[in-house]
Homo-oligomer: A and B are copies of this chain.
Amino acid sequence: MRKTEELNETKLISEIEKISLVTQKFNKSLVIKSIGDDCAIFRDKNGMLVSTDNITENVHFTLKFYSFYEIGSKSLLVNLSDIAAMGGVPRLFTLSLFIPKNITEGNIKEALRGIVDIAKKYRISLIGGNISRASEFSISITIIGDYKDDNVIKRGNSKIGDAIFISGEIGNSWMSYYLQKRKKHIDKNCINLKNFEKKTIENFIGKFKLPIPRIKLAKELAAKKLANSLTDISDGLRKDIFNILNFSHGAEIWIDELPINENLKHIAGLLKIANYMDNVLSFGEDYELLWTAGDKKEEEFLNLSNTLGIKIKKIGRVVKGVNGIKFMKNGIKYSIKDFTFKHL
């Protein structure tokens, strides 16, 4: 008899890492970097990057809030972000579709349209795939990218004293999802909302449903060797920050410096969401870049920010010791409350 019990994901990942370690030696000259970063690296004329990720119904999306076109788009976008998180260029991908019986051909075509539009936009080629029956709709993608010379930025090379930088804004994906889920409730119960406020909410949902992989920015960071350590934020700043630190490093994050969208704050005020900062730090799915670098690189980031039209913000510092992450607000330690909101 199989028992129902909670799965320890961390243990499971370490099991998989062990297999990776054991099998890596079979292709020493081929595998440059295996599991343990955003992508694996193997040998080509240029170096090649491989990463695999999936989005699954009722885990990463619900068909109530996402169109099939959006699901298709998102499935590829989250994979592109993994290539960006190394400073690489996405090139090729394979596609596995898991299709339940209640999904029509038209639905799948819509999802494929979402995929092909993103593929065209980022000039990447589909080179393989398969289809399988399943109970839930799921899209699994393996992406292959490349990079020139040694222009690739791994996760764990941060140095003590490094400043921590972040691109764009965080929390938008959370707020978009929160608003979608509460839309009916809001329409019914928040009768004091003015029309332009309702419009602000509407716009916010639409604008931040899909992530933007920061490929150009990452490529610049890599080409100019501006970052010591780089990752993307998929699981929330609170969790992903650990990816750019060595095990012997800690970090201080300055809450007041976090790039939060003005409309997010405004909507949080309108709807009286007191703990919004905890969700901003924990929800993830923003796919912004997170990196560390010496303070003297700050001016170059300012230039990059202006050239590419992407916000770049210094939000903290890598510190000595194994104290993990300290969030600071007005110079005082900030404790994240249990957040009310998680992935589906």
Contacts and interface: CB of A to CB of B under 8 A. Distances in A.
A92 B189 CA distance: 55
Q: How many copies, total?
A: 2
A133 interface: yes
Q: Dominant SS at the A interface? A: mixed
Interface in A20-47: 20, 22-27, 30-31, 34-35, 39-40, 42-45
A287 to B, nearest CB: 15
Nearest to A109: B15
A135 interface: yes
Contacts of A127: 20, 24, 31, 34-35, 40, 42, 50
Closest 5 CB pairs of A and B: A40-B127, A142-B142, A26-B123, A135-B135, A52-B94
Contact of A140 (B99, B115, B140): B140
Interface stretch (A4-12, A162-170, A212-220, A330-338): A4-12
A187 to B, nearest CB: 22
Given A7-B105, A23-B119, A98-B138, A34 B125 contact: yes
A301 to B, nearest CB: 30
Contact of A2 (B24, B91, B104, B140): B104
Contact of A131 (B5, B13, B96): B13
Interface residues of A, number: 80
A54 B22 contact: no
A45 B42 contact: no
A128 B52 contact: yes
Contacts of A105: 5, 7-8, 11-12
A22 B120 CA distance: 8
B52 A133 contact: no
Contacts of A202: none
A23 B96 contact: no
A203 B312 CA distance: 65
Interface string A115-157: 1100110011111111111111010101010000000000000
Given A9-B131, A30-B91, A105-B7, A52 B142 contact: yes
Contacts of A51: 94, 128
A124 B102 CA distance: 38
Given A2-B103, A15-B109, A109-B15, A52 B144 contact: no
Interface string A78-119: 000000000000011011111101111101110010011001
Given A31-B92, A130-B54, A124 B19 contact: no
B52 A116 contact: no
A296 interface: no
Interface in A61-92: 63, 91-92
